[in-house]
Structure 1
């Protein structure tokens, strides 16, 4: 077959050959990521884009085009593989800004190998036959230098193909302001769209206009104002951001053993526990958890936040505490440049950053320094700085794929869980729990415990719904379906020694609520114009925007969950009651969907344009009007 496409030295026939091969891969890939609506059409439109790329490549003069097309085919096939791996972990495609993280790939090597499967290599199945044909037959036929097509003809073809692809997407997506996703653009065209966003200043999409003022402004309720205000004023704050720590393990047992006995006990004594708290990370995962928690704004949708907002003037919890006489310090057992932390922490308000460069690598588990070693080495630093202080420990041990040596494991697991992804997760979380217990004992021994507040929250989920093995085991363990709200729920615990408080807050919240909630406890008066989040101790309107791991526009409330369809079509979305699992009419979610989008877009607009502090209370409608985006 190959020979018939090359015997007349026709570039156009070569282009059709390689476009056809890549079209087949597009079909397979789009099916793999779950493109359901318009699978064939979306693949064809992406195939047209591939064809345009090959036509542009044909402009290279006096070049062996067959060889060039093999290289392009190989490159795109490798992109298929990387996208498959990335999608498996993040349910989206590789973002353009991943280039900023290339230097850190080695740090997550174990995670990549754990995801890689033999079937991923099938995207390269045609490369060997093409290379064999090229070396054995094509080169000997002396048809290496194919006369290039006229540039004018190529440009006309490229414009036609690009126009056809663009118009096709516009038609199937019904509007110019539709939410763009890999599921409605396809792989190739989504990457082009993502690349275009890097050079675009537009944060809020055109047409996002008709949002009612009430999308974020909460309805006034008769709630007790300033509840717990100043409870922890003047105390030291010790925050543990726990890697991949999900809420479902709290107060649970496996084979008759508590998974988190220390935290279970803390929840019952001198603590405020938020049982419906959700991750809100973006491209930066762990680093975004830090960013969102300490700014009260959602992360960037263009890049990881510590890159997007480097150099920006920020109002953060550590910055406000410094004005109150607090010292601020952060600990992380990894490289200081990972996620651009070294450059970003001064803007976040952290005076001191203790990383792997200052810490002794005495006990390495997984990606870096173990929980226990990090806490142990952090205590002398806390003793040496003036009080009060605000400290943040960023942990690593329970990072995917949750591999630990047996000597660190304390749980006895039966054959149902032993050496499974879920069993390994239980062991790492149990190790975290033990490390927190040891940290508390060390604080007591050093005289720091009773004048300190210990805060623990999970940075993001660890067990993904896409992992069939983990999901199957989890649903047996939970005796319930493992859904998105289960996956995204993380613990949030505030332990105040000697407070005699034993309180569970069931109001739904997310990481944007950390800043205003802790500020209230510290007795720091902050205006609503400083953040998008809410004080969970003085608010009964639960709401948490979710994205990246769900489609943009999804959200969770106290009694229901809304998942925006990944094809960007509202009518294809799902919504259900959290307690009964019953499906709910989608129209009941329309306002919440618009609010979720508003929080995402305005977080980015405000931070990118350094509008903080806002001159008045955050008014979504007014800001959109000033931008000329509201239609009345």
Structure 2
């Protein structure tokens, strides 16, 4: 009887109670994100960070200790849930840089919800239950009052130091890993999030005067062709670039039971120039990054979308090159121009006319867009 009551008293201590809850949530996140999860791995990688935070609460919190525990519980739960959903959508681990993209969520909300399994929401169950019980249950209110004092035992600082050492032990050896998913798996999701916040990027900028076309050619060791194959192929013609989303090369000229899957695209490819070796850059801007690359030939930024980093400047671009040859430029896009900050991107690229789904909705016939000297950086169909 005494041992049972002692066990009940121990398990109801906020430090132990919320540790058990967070371990269960970490297992849920790991099962969704990582393959071949070893049972001990989430426990060894996530619990040190959790205890590191909980030790701080025990050492410094008093009257509002349980409230702080619940706030930390909510924060860590949100991180795990964001990691799950971001991985399901992008296939990478979320970091604090994704906060720059929060305003894009509403535009892709249908896709996000389609990726959500109902059991993901179980991660919030304890928060809802505890909130209701704290509001209605006298027993839980007494539990809250009983644990308002600071923990005076000497083991709390020891737990803090050991947890900090374990966190560093997991972070330091894995910093050089090039695979972000492997890095998060070896560090632990929470350690990885902390690491991305505190890491310093030592980027050394090269002297622009040292970068010349001759040095680039020498480095690439690719002699320029004496007679470029396509030189002058579009001289005096209108240039239309059709850029498709979520469309892969294997569909081209593919037939099922003798019927072509993409007959119109096959005809377009035969009657124009088709570039099958355009590979997706692994970035967070997705389609907007693809437009950026096509129009500038630049690499995308290592974090965030190009539209968020480079849209505030005048970019050397294909529309501007064509403008020097007397062309006017226009962009036709079937989504809202605010999505991925495209309004600013098109201005930075020097595109003259911008038409989106709002403006094109007034058109009753596609033939109302007469062929003129227009350049279309993007024409998509979602």
TM-score class, shorter: 0.7 to 0.9
C-alpha distance after superposition, 1:527-551 (max 9, x if no partner): xxxxxxxxxxxxxxxxxxxxxxxxx
Give distance in 1, aligned partners of 2:69 and 2:8: 13
Residue equivalent to 1:99: 99
| CA positional deviation for 1:248 | 1.8
Give 1:360-509 correspondences, 5 Å limit.
360=361, 376=366, 379=369, 383=372, 387=373, 389-397=374-382
Say if 2:283 and 2:303, in contact at 8 Å, map to a contact too: no
Instruction: Confirm whether residue 265 of structure 1 aligns to residue 250 of structure 2.
Output: no
5+ residue gaps, structure 2, are 205-214
Residue equivalent to 1:31: 31
Say if 1:35 and 1:184, in contact at 8 Å, map to a contact too: no
Give distance in 1, aligned partners of 2:37 and 2:219: 35
C-alpha distance after superposition, 1:480-535 (max 9, x if no partner): xxxxxxxxxxxxxxxxxxxxxxxxxxxxxxxxxxxxxxxxxxxxxxxxxxxxxxxx
Distance 1:358 1:142, change over 3 A: closer
Say if 2:296 and 2:317, in contact at 8 Å, map to a contact too: yes
RMSD: 3.8
Structure 1 residue matching 2:241: 3-state secondary structure? strand
Give distance in 2, aligned partners of 1:22 and 1:156: 21
Structure 1 residue matching 2:220: 3-state secondary structure? coil
Say if 2:61 and 2:150, in contact at 8 Å, map to a contact too: yes
Give distance in 2, aligned partners of 1:109 and 1:304: 18
Instruction: Confirm whether residue 319 of structure 1 aligns to residue 324 of structure 2.
Output: no
| CA positional deviation for 1:43 | 4.6
TM-score by length of 1: 0.50
Say if 2:49 and 2:164, in contact at 8 Å, map to a contact too: yes
Residue equivalent to 2:332: 331
Give 1:193-272 correspondences, 5 Å limit.
193-196=195-198, 200-203=200-203, 217-220=219-222, 225-268=227-270, 270-272=271-273
Distance 1:258 1:159, change over 3 A: same
Say if 1:5 and 1:17, in contact at 8 Å, map to a contact too: no
| CA positional deviation for 1:165 | 0.7
Residue equivalent to 1:118: 118
| CA positional deviation for 1:100 | 2.7
Give distance in 1, aligned partners of 2:329 and 2:5: 69
| CA positional deviation for 1:290 | 0.5
Using the TM superposition, name which of 93-102 and 58-67 deviates more: 58-67
Structure 2 residue matching 1:336: 3-state secondary structure? coil
| CA positional deviation for 1:339 | 0.9
Say if 1:6 and 1:14, in contact at 8 Å, map to a contact too: no
Distance 1:53 1:325, change over 3 A: farther
Distance 1:62 1:2, change over 3 A: farther
Residue equivalent to 2:348: 347
Give distance in 1, aligned partners of 2:311 and 2:71: 37
C-alpha distance after superposition, 1:327-358 (max 9, x if no partner): 22212233322111222322222233223453
Say if 1:30 and 1:39, in contact at 8 Å, map to a contact too: no
Aligned length, in residue pairs: 365
C-alpha distance after superposition, 1:356-405 (max 9, x if no partner): 4533367xxxxxxxxxx7x828715x64xxx3x322234242xxxxxxxx
Bigger RCO of structures 1 and 2 (CA < 8 A, at least 6 apart): 1
Give distance in 2, aligned partners of 1:127 and 1:284: 33
Say if 2:52 and 2:163, in contact at 8 Å, map to a contact too: yes
Give distance in 2, aligned partners of 1:42 and 1:193: 17
Say if 1:59 and 1:149, in contact at 8 Å, map to a contact too: yes
Distance 1:56 1:356, change over 3 A: farther
Give distance in 1, aligned partners of 2:269 and 2:77: 50
C-alpha distance after superposition, 1:93-144 (max 9, x if no partner): 2332332332332221211221111221232344455456653523135625
Residue equivalent to 1:178: 177
Residue equivalent to 2:83: 83
Residue equivalent to 2:304: 303
More strand per residue: 1 or 2?
Answer: 1
Give distance in 2, aligned partners of 1:104 and 1:322: 32
Distance 1:6 1:357, change over 3 A: farther
| CA positional deviation for 1:62 | 4.6
Distance 1:274 1:341, change over 3 A: closer
Give distance in 1, aligned partners of 2:341 and 2:6: 53
